[in-house]
């Protein structure tokens, strides 16, 4: 697959017409830059439509399993969302070294940049909040919980309408544990709900409502309700629900915020209750949208890109997007298992201690094991990463010694032991993954 040539530099210089990305998009100026991705303005060569393309380096994310997991989840989630107040993902493309998110271009920028200049009127704040709740309620109805709602992740288009973006920390209903709750600790400190701080599990819909309440406060006040230079002091304020409303807040807004920012999630207002609240309903116009109904016909496999393949994949195995095609001897091997990290590490240790293998074992931080042959001709590092609440990724990498013993140990001994002794995820297999240091 062809690479981008002459990628725009940090000054926003574009590329020429002869250097269209994968033959489809002319890439223009740089719109934004983060630690792991850059976003460019681009134009569809065929239709002339302007889009935003988020470019992610595979090399940068390969060393961080949680980041890879977030990106895979973001693709999966955005694929199922189609709402006027959610940034639309058109397609995902992949080259040898990069992943490209082709998204709707939202020209107005972040809501954060606007409120940073001056606080909004109550009517304007309500309008944005109404659009936010419309999008959040839509997500919840489809089993998606954003978990990182804040003004920086809310964009405004040229018509002044809000668009929710950045689903990298989102969760889906399938991640809920047997207790009916989510347990992953995530979000931005000033916007996290108090129940997240207790580390006892939380309802994804209720923490999203809390974050929406913090956003509403910020839009009206121009500053955060819970803020302190000391992080633990701020967390105590959040846990106790200690905030003050400015004098310009109307009584109805204060009453409404007290229901949204209720520290007890059981007493906190729900999305359905928000929709019927008098303060919220003022000037509210229900959003109309049309679901894209998938046609029940045989898929045409002509000109398929990575996003199409994801759409047809029942198992959502996105490994092809994240691995390099070079099968060099420095590459590692990957296996997906439906088991806990602790159990996998325990199984690897038992394997190493078996008489026929005669390997020295050294535990590492988290879920890692170093295996060394007694004669020094073999050294393997085994790392276990949690992919979801139910799945883990096992990566075995050659740390030293010859290639032959390394491949033989993985393919003929360790991998069969893990697959046979634990619960291998159906439809998965070992994959070549880039070596990380």
Residue 22 token pair = 């994968």
Dihedral sign computed on CA atoms, order 68, 74, 77, 79:
negative
Residues 154, 164: contact at Cβ < 8 Å? yes
CATH of domain 17-105: 3.30.200.20
Cα–Cα distance list, 324 to 187, 251, 299 (Å): 31, 58, 27
Residue 142's Cβ-side half-sphere holds a number of Cα atoms within 13 Å equal to 17
Q: Which residue has the higher pLDDT, 106 or 356?
A: 106
Q: Which residue has the tokens 């088991």?
A: 339
Alpha-helical runs (H) found in 120-200? 122-141, 194-197
Q: How confident is the model at residue 244 (pLDDT cuts 50, 70, 90)?
A: very high
Distance of CA 28 to the CA centre of its chain: 26
Question: Which range, 53-62, 198-207, 209-218, is most confident?
Answer: 209-218
pLDDT at 110 over 50: yes
Q: Indicate the CATH number for domain 111-281.
A: 1.10.510.10
Cα(225)–Cα(222) distance, rounded to whole angstroms?
A: 10
Q: How does pLDDT run across 275-334, given as a tens digit for each residue?
A: 999 999 999 988 766 555 443 333 333 333 444 333 333 333 344 444 443 443 344 677
The arithmetic mean of pLDDT across residues 388-392, rounded, is 66
CB 382 within 8 A of CB 368: yes
State residue 2's pLDDT score: 34
Looking at per-residue confidence, does 118 or 396 come out higher?
A: 118
Is the model's pTM score more than 0.85? no
Tell me yes or no: is domain 329-433 CATH 3.30.310.80: yes
Query: What average pLDDT does the segment 87-116 reach?
Result: 89
Average pLDDT of the residues in 374-390: 73
Is pLDDT above 90 for 71? no
- Among all residues, which ones are annotated catalytic? 148
Q: Where in the chain is the domain with CATH 3.30.310.80?
A: 329-433
Q: Are strands 98-104 and 144-145 parallel, antiparallel or unpaired?
A: unpaired
- Give yes or no for a contact between 96 and 57, defined as CB atoms under 8 angstroms apart: no
Q: Which residue has the higher pLDDT, 12 or 153?
A: 153
Sign of CA dihedral 407, 408, 412, 413: negative
Cα maximum dimension of the chain: 77
Q: What is the pLDDT of residue 317?
A: 37
The rounded distance, in Å, linking the Cα atoms of 20 and 40 is: 13
What pLDDT, on the 0 to 100 scale, is given for residue 325?
39
pLDDT above 70 as % of the chain: 72
Average pLDDT value for residue range 212-218: 97
C-alpha–C-alpha distance, residues 83 and 93, integer Å: 22
For every residue of 198-244, DSSP letters joined together read: TTS-B-HHHHHHHHHHHHHHHHHHSS-SS--SSHHHHHHHHHHT---
In the chain, ranges of CATH 1.10.510.10 domains: 111-281
In the chain, residues under CATH classification 3.30.200.20 are 17-105
Looking at residue 292, what is its pLDDT?
Answer: 52
User: What is residue 301's predicted lDDT score, i.e. its pLDDT?
Assistant: 30
| Token duo for residue 257 | 């915020």
Per cent of the chain over pLDDT 90 is 34
Listed in sequence order, the residues at least 6 apart from 288 whose beta carbon sits closer than 8 Å to its beta carbon are none
> Residue 192: pLDDT above 60?
yes
Q: Looking up tokens 């240091």, which residue turns up?
A: 437
Please determine, for residue 168, whether its predicted confidence score (pLDDT) is greater than 80.
no
- Lowest-confidence range among 6-10, 38-42, 338-342, 396-400? 6-10
């Amino acid at each position: 697959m062809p690479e981008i040539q002459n990628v725009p530099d940090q000054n926003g210089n574009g590329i020429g017409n002869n250097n269209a990305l994968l033959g489809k998009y002319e890439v223009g100026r740089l719109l934004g830059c983060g630690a792991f991705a850059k976003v460019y303005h681009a134009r569809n060569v065929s239709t002339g439509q302007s889009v935003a393309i988020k470019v992610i380096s595979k090399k940068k994310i390969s060393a961080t399993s949680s980041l890879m997991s977030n990106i895979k989840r973001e693709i999966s989630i955005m694929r199922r969302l189609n709402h006027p107040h959610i940034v639309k993902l058109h397609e995902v493309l992949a080259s040898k070294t990069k992943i490209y998110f082709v998204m709707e271009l939202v020209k107005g920028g972040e809501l954060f940049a606007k409120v940073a200049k001056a606080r909004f009127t109550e009517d304007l704040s309500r309008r944005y909040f109404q659009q936010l709740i419309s999008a959040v309620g839509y997500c919840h109805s489809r089993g998606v919980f954003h978990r990182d709602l804040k003004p920086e992740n809310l964009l405004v288009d040229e018509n002044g309408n809000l668009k929710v973006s950045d689903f990298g920390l989102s969760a889906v209903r399938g991640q809920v544990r047997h207790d009916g709750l989510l347990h992953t600790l995530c979000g931005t400190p000033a916007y996290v709900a108090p129940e997240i701080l207790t580390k006892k599990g939380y309802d994804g819909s209720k923490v999203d409502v809390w974050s929406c309440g913090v956003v509403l406060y910020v839009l009206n006040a121009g500053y955060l309700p819970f803020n302190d230079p000391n992080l633990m002091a701020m967390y105590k304020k959040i846990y106790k629900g200690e905030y003050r409303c400015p004098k310009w807040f109307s009584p109805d807004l204060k009453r409404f915020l007290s229901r949204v920012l209720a520290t007890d999630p059981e007493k906190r207002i729900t999305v359905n209750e928000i929709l019927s609240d008098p303060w919220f309903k003022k000037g509210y116009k229900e959003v109309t949208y049309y679901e894209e109904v998938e046609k029940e016909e045989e898929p045409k496999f002509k000109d398929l890109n990575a996003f199409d393949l994801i759409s047809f994949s029942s198992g959502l195995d996105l490994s092809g997007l994240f691995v390099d095609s070079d099968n060099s001897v420095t590459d590692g091997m990957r296996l997906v298992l439906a088991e806990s990290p602790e159990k996998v590490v325990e199984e690897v240790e038992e394997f190493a201690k078996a008489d026929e293998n005669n390997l020295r074992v050294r535990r590492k931080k988290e879920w890692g094991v170093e295996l060394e042959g007694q004669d020094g001709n073999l050294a393997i590092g085994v790392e276990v990463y949690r992919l979801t609440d139910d799945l883990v990724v096992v990566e075995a990498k050659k740390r030293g010694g010859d290639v032959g013993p390394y491949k033989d140990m993985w393919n003929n001994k360790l991998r069969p032991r893990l697959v046979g002794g634990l619960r291998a995820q159906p439809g998965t297999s070992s994959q070549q993954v880039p070596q990380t240091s």
